[in-house]
Amino acid sequence: MKSWYKNLSDFINTLKDAGELSIIERSVSHYLEISKLTDAESKAPDGGKALLFENVEGSPFPAATNLFGSSRRICMAMGVDSLDELGDRIREYIEMHPPESIKDMLGLLPTGLSVSRFFPRSLRSKSPPCQKVIYTGNDVDLSILPVLHCWPKDAGPFITLPLVFTKSLKTGRRNVGMYRLQVFDKNTTGMHWHIHKDGSHNYNEYCRTKKRMPVAVAIGADPATIYAATAPMPRNVDEMILAGFIRNRPVPMTRCITVDIKVPAEAEFILEGYVDPGELRKEGPFGDHTGYYSPADDYPVFHVTAVTHRKSPVYCATLVGRPPMEDCYLAKTTERLFLPLLQMVLPEIKNYWLPWEGVFHNIVVVSIDKEYPGHAQKVMHGLWGQGQMSFCKAIVVVDRDIDLEDPNQVIGKFIENFDIQSDLTMTKGILDVLDHSSPTPIFGNKIGIDLTARFPGETMRIPIDRSPEASDDKQVEILDRIDKKLDGVIDARRFSYPQRNVKAPRRNSILFLCVENEPERPGRFYANKLLEMTGLEPFNIIILYDAKIDLADNSLLLWKMFNNVDPGRDLFIRDNRLVIDACRKYKGDGHPREWPDELSFE
């Protein structure tokens, strides 16, 4: 296993030697065609292969996608056999140099010479690799880049894997984030930094002083540097230090030509320029990692004053959409790398897991060493107060004996333990900008589910002797009964999972229903009717989905539920029975916002 890479080409050559790269020699279009091929490859077993398109129509440069889109390739990219090795290295450092805070830890404060090697270094060469070819002034033309038009309803081509370099006006400290760039014309793009992101914070500093903000964007770098731009680092902590930590050697940096910002010297392309305070332009829609189009909105404009690149650069892009896709593996790196840091603040946490269907911000499952009544709720609120975890909509807490590497154990514990009356914690807080289920953007309802064993002093779960799970014949009978009493129910399926070695009766039995959801009869209409019906005793949890949903696809059902449910609006509880409305929402549901379209090439 190669421990580090000098640049992107070094990594691509390693993938080729390892049989992890497919080279497409024929001519392909950057308009949807590369995306279709990448989407299909991403959904192939084990993430398929990385793709290198050697001949992209209208551009002299090749394009690479799906570079990190498998468990093997992301480990190769990080120079480890298992992503847990990254967390183990963090843990070793914590034990050697106990920090006073997570910020201290992530800053990798130079308490010894061994740590200083992580800090970026200035390249002494007057002709760094990223500046072998230089375009400035009227020669700047972004159309030479093979920028992907990813999805049919996208507003245009988007640079999807950019490393955006900015500096704080107050402290001068560097920030590197990954914010998509919609290409407007030959020398301007959108700058899509969300309100909660550090790039946006730096921009606000310039806006308050009405000063022009210098910005530089790197496209394509060594894998650790690309990953570091995605990592949820605390403000004023340099992501290039994290990249150096993963590489075990510093990232060589060089100063831009037209702006006072340093960028990775080994990058494939550099875009230099500025953002003027207060200048906004409509950006989007864009097919996002949620699997839906994020809506158009006003964002700052990036003016490109220079484009530089290597002698033979490779344009690096990613395609995001309904999981699993490449970004899932980058997120898995964050999950494993940041576990020891969470344990610094919440040492009772044994492990945690962000299911891909939750698209990073919708759900996290945590196993803990429970020691006292209310411990699970303490962990929930502690996580909701920690960095990127504050955006999480749902938190599930289980005991330490549950192996989070085995999702069936978590599902089984939910089926066996979940008590509707005692296990729910409802609250409100900030949400990810891309959460579309909340009636209001950025802020809304959150839910905690406590599946841990009860301690004295906690509300005990209601004893239950659930009826045996409905047989296939019984399921047909139930569906027939629903059809006769409630028009619009299209299909039904009971949920089954591998039986665990538990003698106690199952507390919960789940029924999935497809309904004809429409403005006149939204999901809440069906929910209320179902709770009024008799004869559904074999099922105490019913989850509603739109028509044409494949009820046999468990991953699809979880993805729809995590994305489409607002905990404060879409859960209907009566007499220890629960109906969850995972359908599309309308104004009649109390959802005034526009509901986004699902991504599709059709």
Q: Which residues are catalytic?
A: 288
Neighbouring residues of 133: CB distance < 8 A, sequence distance ≥ 6: 308, 309, 310, 311
Q: List the alpha helices (DSSP H) in 210-325.
A: 223-228, 239-247
* Closest residue by Cα to residue 493 from 529, 543, 452, 530: 543
Sign of CA dihedral 27, 33, 35, 41: negative
Residue 527 corresponds to which tokens in the numbers above?
Answer: 């929910």
Neighbouring residues of 413: CB distance < 8 A, sequence distance ≥ 6: 398, 402, 451
Contact 321, 151 (CB under 8 A): yes
Backbone angles phi, psi at 439, to 5 degrees: -60, -25
* Closest residue by Cα to residue 438 from 290, 332, 306, 543: 290
Length of the chain: 602
| Helix, strand, coil percentages for the chain (3-state, nearest 5) | 30, 25, 45
The secondary structure of 351-413 as a DSSP string is EEE--GGGTTTSEEEEEE---STTHHHHHHHHHTTSGGGGG-SEEEEEETTS-TT-HHHHHHH
Alpha-carbon distance of 316 to 313, in angstroms, equals 9
CB atoms within 10 A of CB 124: 9
Alpha-carbon distance of 175 to 169, in angstroms, equals 11
* Closest residue by Cα to residue 94 from 82, 81, 83, 106: 106
Contact 198, 177 (CB under 8 A): yes
The secondary structure of 43-54 as a DSSP string is TSGGG--EEEEE
User: Which stretches does DSSP call E strand in 129-223?
Assistant: 133-136, 158-159, 162-167, 174-177, 181-182, 188-190, 213-219
Contact 140, 192 (CB under 8 A): no
